[in-house]
A = this chain, B = another copy of it.
Amino acid sequence: MPASLPATCSCAVMNAFNQPLRVQQFPMPSDLKPGEMVVEVEMAGICGTDVHLHKGQLNVPLPLIMGHETTARVAALGAPDTTDWLGRPLRLGDRVSFTVGRPCGSCFYCRVHRLPSRCLNRKAYGVNVACAAAPHLLGGYGQYHFLHADTAVFKLADDLPSEAVVGAGCALVTAVHGFEKLNMRWAESVIIQGAGPVGLASLAIAKEAGGRPTIVIGGPRDRLERCKRFGADVTIDIDEVTDSTERRRRVLDATGGYGADVVVECVGLPQAVVEGWELCRDGARYLVLGHYGDAGPIPLNPHLITKKELTVLGTWGSEPQHWTIALEFLRTRRQAYPFHELITHRFRLDQVNEALAAVARWETGKAVIVPGR
């Protein structure tokens, strides 16, 4: 471990829901075991989910260092021959990102059904691991981050800017996973419900995978503008076209009168599902991708599933191999899908409460914490 590592580290801690986060000092982890490492946070994305966490809407432990979309530089390695998830050697100073979810690898879902996203013992940095006990540094909102040996770390290529990685954030890998199950085929028509981060990521994949036309239904206007820059063939502004019947009419116009082959829900509100099933052609596939929060039941008609012969699919979170796809996509296709341009606001660590408030007020594109600022 290099002599230059400080003895302590500042992190923004959520000690109570709905209360300001406080920047606190933690001792630096020592005695790293092989595979473990400490990374110096370069940039920590503020995900909309963090706002929900802060409001206490999800059941997470406290005190918590949030931050689950992070790029960083390797600051200390538990063993000199440490490699990243793809087997590439890691050296001090290397720029990396990493999956925050760590499945146990040994439960029923990890083993029998190869479904680590549904691991019964899943740990997620910045989300469900409290920072009270060592090694403390378990979230992105801090100067340094500790990584367990089973973390999937990815060395970032020189031509892949950190802004792209954090700009795409966890939304992109979530969408990569969803589209894997959706099994989208080229030349299919695709509707994306929602123009937020997951919607934009889904649009990017739908375009890249040869979707035609790609239709985004959402808002507000500037988000739809961004969707157009990412290649959306049709956008429907829900602030403008407030009547769902009229929205459906426009979808039918754009899909030869029958509805789309594929509809991807990226909204998170149950009503979107009601509207979404109506936008499906018979035999279509519908992906429920935005329902991470439990917004409760909504009146839905299962008769439609039978009558329209629908396939309704869900996926949860992501796995490391979705990261390999996402990172290579970001690197090679930056021109067409400029995720790096999404970052509109940069905050210092001590501005974290200001940052969360700005995100909560939807004032930002993507906001990030830059602890080293």
**Which residues from chain A sit less than 8 Å from chain B, CB to CB?**
85-87, 106-109, 111-115, 117-118, 179-181, 183-187, 205, 208-210, 212, 256, 258, 265, 270, 273, 281-283, 288-316, 320-321, 324-325, 328-329, 332
Q: Which B residues lie within 8 Å of A313 (CB)?
A: 305, 310-312
Identical copies in the complex: 4
Q: A107-B87, A210-B208, A320-B111 are in contact. Are A294 and B299 (CB under 8 A)?
A: no
**Are B321 and A114 neighbours in the complex by a CB distance under 8 Å?**
yes
A100 to chain B, nearest CB (A): 17
CA distance A106 to B301 in the complex (A): 29
- Selected contact of A309 from candidates B118, B256, B283, B332, CB within 8 Å: B118
- Bound together, the chains give a CA A315 to CA B282 distance in angstroms of 10
Task: Given the known inter-chain contacts A180-B185, A186-B208, please indicate yes or no for A297 contacting B291, CB distance below 8 A.
Answer: no
For A274, the closest partner residue in chain B by CB is B297
With contact pairs A107-B87, A112-B324, A209-B186 given, residues A302 and B298 touching in the complex (Cβ less than 8 Å): yes
CB proximity of A71 to chain B, nearest CB, Å: 21
CB nearest to A320 among chain B residues:
B111
Give the residues in chain B near A310, CB-CB below 8 Å.
312-314
Contacts known (A306-B291, A314-B308); A298 close to B299, Cβ less than 8 A: yes
A288 to chain B, nearest CB (A): 4
Tell whether, in the assembled complex, residue B314 and residue A291 are in contact, meaning their CB atoms are under 8 Å apart. no
**A210 / chain B contacts, CB cutoff of 8 Å:** 186, 205, 208-210
Contact: B115 with A87, CB < 8 Å? no
Cβ contact of A306, chosen from B292, B300, B307, cutoff 8 A: B292
- Whether the pair B306, A111 counts as a contact (CB closer than 8 A) is no
- Residues on B with C-beta less than 8 A from A316 are 306-309
